[in-house]
Structure 1
Amino acid sequence: MRFISPKVDYAFKKIFGSEQSKEILISFLNAIIYAGEPVIKSLTIINPYNPGQVLSLKDTYLDVKAVLADGSIVVIEMQIASMAAFNKRVAYNLAKSYSNQLVKGEDYPLLNPAIAVTITDFILFTETEAVINKFRFKEETENFECIGGELRLIFVELPKFKKTLSELNSLTDKWIYFLKEAAILEEIPNSLGEVSEIKLALNLASQANMTVEEFEVIDRRGMILQDEKGRITYAEEQGRIKEAIALVMRQLKKRFGEIPAAISPKIEDLSLSELETLTEDIFDFNSLDDLLSWLETSR
């Protein structure tokens, strides 16, 4: 048995946003938002996944949206690769979901809370090792709340999750493991299968339960997303290389004055790791001859 990756937005929508996904989504949201406590009892999935629409899907369709029993709106999104102003886009989508509840002339008391749950396959917050981070409006100095839980941002960073199957202790652990590792499973593990909602999610993710067309579309979408992620990673790497080259050239100029033109191409050919090493080794050089010797031995 093989499973599609929930990291692919089409697959994520199928698993968590189908007509039969209500119990799956309730369990998942309770795990992520409420640490496994059964706070959410019921919800309605808005604009559910429809296999017949998969060929013409737009990005906004791929968000999973639900209205909880108390009227709260939840928008859940899977993002495989970073992008410019990503945090602003998440904030914009949350604000839009909140404000779109009202039509012109309606009263503000009709507004219900809105929550954005964003799962990323990249590191977003380097300041913490926490896998789940939750945000709401609070006073900067004394930390008291301004609008309560009216607007909440919740992020799940999959690369930070390191637990193995045998280390899964909570419902939250099991759902995050499912998101991160489902595509490499060959069967439903007992520790996941004992949660009926995760077992159902794995059945929805099973390649055997898909039409050929549906699988091909999801597979193709996965390749497109991986290519996009690769381009972003390459662009980021190239940006870091340019910064490292500029730093090395500034250090050399400060230490030895004008640098001969013949040396510049040799430095530009260095990898990022070599450039980072050079920024440290420069302080051991007594002359440009030492630099040239270093460049010869580094290749």
Structure 2
Amino acid sequence: MASRYLDVTNDLAFKKVFSDKDIMKDFLNSILHLSNGSAITEIEFIPTEEVPDLGQNKRSIFDLKCRDQDGNWFVVEMQNRKQEHFLERVQFYASHTYVAQLPKGKSHKGLMPVILIAISKENLFPDEIGCVSYHKTKEDQTNKQHLFALSYVFIELGKFNKTAQELYSTEDYWLYFLAESEEIKQPPSSIKDHWVLKAYETIERFNWNDIEYDGYIRAKLLAEAEEMTLQDNLQKATMKGIERGREEGIEQGRNAEKLIIAKNLLSLGIDKKKISESTGLSLKEIEGL
């Protein structure tokens, strides 16, 4: 039986939900723990077509990029499949967004901080790091922050293990929504936040027309195809490693046999040079016996 809700980690579903300004504001304020005077009250979505070539004739795009009323920039990236060098990529994205603020020939004064929020279905860091982690540049001795240009928030959905009955904050509501959207029949009764409930409404299957749903399925198939390609490459690399190890093991076995033969010939008083010629071992190896 088809699920009532679609998978919000699907590229198309994610953009459909978080392209709503009010939903994005609520999400950012809860994840960044912004309230009262520090809360985001206005955002402006920024086009993301300017991302440079990353090599191999491939271009990647930010999922969503926006700017708040104070000029701070936010990049929100959804990673729903395994990808090599993901942490390097998000740092590149954040750096590019920071640099892109500066018109050619203008001063660096006035550049605003960039916060990149990466949501991943795969765990990225060791187990002792929680589901939501915050990464800033700090000075080693004082542990104080003096560089504010770039910072990162990572959300590892695989580490979120609260049940519907254990949700008590807006952050919990959003994390549960991201981790469990496709698995539930209705939002937990504990969720009272209007914008989280609206997000559930947005990904309800019956609120998608045929064209939108077709795009959702295409995005899902693409993600699965990329995952299969990655697994296939990993399997090939593993098999090559096993074969290389087998060959090295055979070679080591042959060398061990040569050493045993050489040792026996030495005990019989055979000339070292002749032993070297017959076994292929060097004189230095034979003298070491």
TM-score of the superposed pair, with normalisation by structure 2: 0.74
Change (3 A) 1:213 1:146: same
The within-5 A match list for 1:179-194 is 179-192=178-191, 194=192
Change (3 A) 1:242 1:219: same
After superposition, the C-alpha distances for 1:15-45 in whole angstroms (9 at most, x for unaligned) are 001xxx1111111112222277872222122
Output the CA distance in 2 between the equivalents of 1:180 and 1:121. Answer: 8
Equivalent residue for 1:205? 203
Change (3 A) 1:168 1:233: farther
After superposition, the C-alpha distances for 1:177-196 in whole angstroms (9 at most, x for unaligned) are 1111111222233223x110
After superposition, the C-alpha distances for 1:160-218 in whole angstroms (9 at most, x for unaligned) are 112221122222121111111111222233223x1100111111111211110111111
Flag the structure with higher helix content. Answer: 1
Equivalent residue for 2:122? 122
User: In the alignment, is the contact (CA less than 8 A) between 1:81 and 1:232 conserved in 2?
Assistant: no
In the alignment, which of 202, 212, 222 is matched to residue 220 of structure 2? Answer: 222
Output the CA distance in 2 between the equivalents of 1:174 and 1:187. Answer: 13
User: In the alignment, is the contact (CA less than 8 A) between 1:30 and 1:39 conserved in 2?
Assistant: yes
Change (3 A) 1:179 1:71: same
Q: Which amino acid aligns with 1:6?
A: V
Change (3 A) 1:60 1:243: closer
Q: Shift in Å at residue 157 of structure 1?
A: 0.9
User: In the alignment, is the contact (CA less than 8 A) between 1:24 and 1:197 conserved in 2?
Assistant: yes
Q: Shift in Å at residue 258 of structure 1?
A: 6.6
Equivalent residue for 1:94? 94
Equivalent residue for 2:33? 34
Identity of aligned residues (%): 27
Q: Which amino acid aligns with 1:70?
A: D
Q: Shift in Å at residue 142 of structure 1?
A: 3.8
Change (3 A) 1:71 1:180: same
The within-5 A match list for 1:1-299 is 2-17=4-19, 21-34=20-33, 39-47=39-47, 63-126=63-126, 128-147=128-147, 149-192=148-191, 194-240=192-238, 243=241
SS in 2 for 1:7: coil
Change (3 A) 1:125 1:250: farther
SS in 2 for 1:117: strand
SS in 2 for 1:99: helix
Unaligned runs of 5+ in 1: 49-57, 260-299
User: Which protein shows a greater Rg?
Assistant: 2
Output the CA distance in 2 between the equivalents of 1:251 and 1:123. Answer: 35
- Name the stretch that deviates more: 242-251 or 217-226: 242-251
Equivalent residue for 2:261? none
Q: May I ask how many residue pairs the two structures share in their alignment?
A: 245
Output the CA distance in 2 between the equivalents of 1:258 and 1:174. Answer: 63
SS in 2 for 1:143: coil
Q: Which amino acid aligns with 2:22?
A: E
Change (3 A) 1:242 1:258: farther
Q: Which amino acid aligns with 1:190?
A: S
Q: Say what the alpha-carbon RMSD is for the aligned residues.
A: 2.9
User: In the alignment, is the contact (CA less than 8 A) between 2:79 and 2:119 conserved in 1?
Assistant: yes
Change (3 A) 1:61 1:256: closer
SS in 1 for 2:134: strand
Q: Which amino acid aligns with 2:214?
A: E
Output the CA distance in 1 between the equivalents of 2:7 and 2:90. Answer: 22
Change (3 A) 1:245 1:205: same
Output the CA distance in 2 between the equivalents of 1:257 and 1:204. Answer: 67
TM-score of the superposed pair, with normalisation by structure 1: 0.72
